[in-house]
Amino acid sequence: MLGVNVHPPEMDRPVTSIGDPTASPNLDWTTRPQSWAARWSFDENRATPTPRGWLRRFAYLFVDQRYSAAVLLRLTQYHYDRRHLMRSRIAGRMNGVLNGIEANPRAQIGPGVIFHHHRVVIGGRTVIGRNAHLFTNVNFGLRAGGYPRLGDGVTVFANAVITGHVEIGDEAVVGPNSVVLGHVAARTVVAGSPAVPLRIRRPPLDPITQFGEPGSEQDPPSVGD
């Protein structure tokens, strides 16, 4: 156990980052945009910049997969929270058709999420922290009455399945084709079916940089340091 509250957060309460508090700032954050305008830039970062001008923003819903997936997710949540259920369903359906993203509007997903590719399923009351990197065919789902909880800066590579009350700490990495059945400590790289720890990653220099690319980990200490 990582020593966090196992109960799903309420819709209107901030969520606290899980995992090792030394891995990344253990701060409260909101998982949902609070205004109509905020929906269009809630997940803005270097990998998913917000286009200038409203016309271009609307156009990017159809031509930029990363931006479209994030904005349509936030549109789904925004309307669901305000009981505009038909609008929420339309936005969610658009995300499924255009980007292959199927996300339950009750799920708590921190700002800065990056959908690197199509086909991501986020079920029920899944909790995902800030600056998550999600690749193709990733599935977060229900098992034994519970949903996954992910900390900040977690990377989940292609074809991974994470189900049940599984807690994944800050800046952990789930390798391709993995099936995660147990808790994962912060900054731990796991892979396999079932997933097992492979190594501990070094702290990232930049949370937006994809794991494995230059800058995704600090350089190891020099000999004699």
Is the predicted pLDDT of residue 16 greater than 60, yes or no?
no
Peptide bond into 51 cis (omega under 30): no
Q: Are 154 and 128 in contact (CB under 8 A)?
A: yes
Tens digits of per-residue pLDDT, 34-76? 888 888 999 999 889 999 999 999 999 999 999 999 999 999 9
- Residue-by-residue DSSP string for 167-190: EE-TT-EE-TT-EE-S-B-TTEEE
| Mean pLDDT, residues 215-220 taken together | 76
Domains of the chain, CATH where assigned: 31-200 (2.160.10.10)
Convert 27-41 to b/e letters by CB count within 10 Å (16 or more is b).
eebebbbeeeeebbb
What pLDDT score does 29 carry? 53
Tens digits of per-residue pLDDT, 86-118? 999 999 999 999 999 999 999 999 999 999 988
Q: Are 206 and 216 in contact (CB under 8 A)?
A: yes
Share of the chain above pLDDT 70, in %: 84
Number of neighbours of residue 94 by Cβ within 10 angstroms: 17
Average model confidence (pLDDT) across the chain: 85
| Mean pLDDT, residues 150-168 taken together | 95
Distance CA 137, CA 62 (A): 20
Rg (C-alpha) for the chain, rounded Å, is: 17
